[in-house]
Amino acid sequence: MNPLDVISAQLEALTSQATIREAGLGVLAMQKRRIFEQGLNSSGGQIGKYSTKPTYFNPKDSPVKFTPKGKTGKTEFKDGKPHVTRYFGGGYKEVRQTAGRRTDKVNFDFTGQLRFSHTIGFNDNRVVLGFDSQREGRKAQSLEKKFGPVFALSEEEREAFGRFLINKAFNVST
């Protein structure tokens, strides 16, 4: 085979939609594992710590239902109207504990909606990581504003994407 044909075939393999899609899906899986399981930001450090500042939390936002209660532990105000939120003296960390979620590291996985909305798209042979819901996209932006870059690719994820493309182009088994 002509050397130019070999190079041409390798470049075609490197830039094919199927190859880019496969590499992108692999990076998305790595990113989800890093964020939602390991609780790591884009630099490889811990995302942060959960707040212990007292807060009120609406049970309708929780995957686990709990009775609305005020700071005094009562379910109704003095005028007889029911509480709609629940007071947590231990802050959002206590909310997560009550819901049976891990609190040792911030991992953005409370209801699962953010994790499942985090997805991949393709535009002109370009991989686009994002969210399939505007609500979850806004949530991610808000979390990054608070905790710093989390959804940007880590150096390891960038390298893995490149390695996959090169290996595919040169028929190296991965």
- The answer to whether residues 56 and 138 belong to one domain is no
Position 165 scores a pLDDT of: 81
- The answer to whether residues 167 and 132 belong to one domain is yes
- The answer to whether residues 145 and 73 belong to one domain is no
The CA distances from residue 26 to 79, 151, 160, in Å, are: 56, 15, 8
pLDDT higher than threshold 80 for residue 157: yes
How many C-beta neighbours within 10 Å does residue 110 have?
17
Tens-digit pLDDT profile for residues 100-110: 999 999 999 89
Overall size of the chain counted in residues: 174
Return all residues near 18 (Cβ < 8 A) that are at least 6 apart: none
- The answer to whether residues 117 and 134 belong to one domain is yes
- The answer to whether residues 42 and 53 belong to one domain is no
Position 122 scores a pLDDT of: 80
DSSP code of residue 2: -
DSSP code of residue 11: H
Tell whether 116 is covered by a domain: yes
- Number of structural domains (the chain) is 2
Tens-digit pLDDT profile for residues 6-27: 556 655 655 677 778 888 899 9
Q: What angle do CA 126, 130, 132 make, to 5 degrees?
A: 115
Residue 112 sits in which domain range? 13-48+105-174
Tell whether 2 is covered by a domain: no
- The answer to whether residues 90 and 161 belong to one domain is no
Q: Report d(CA 41, CA 150) in Å as an integer.
A: 4
Q: Report d(CA 112, CA 106) in Å as an integer.
A: 14
Task: Report percent pLDDT > 70 for the chain.
Answer: 88
Among the candidates 70, 85, 104, a domain finishes at: 104
pTM of the model: 0.81
- The answer to whether residues 154 and 125 belong to one domain is yes
- The answer to whether residues 89 and 33 belong to one domain is no
Q: Report d(CA 136, CA 113) in Å as an integer.
A: 7
Tens-digit pLDDT profile for residues 114-145: 999 999 988 776 788 899 999 999 999 999 99
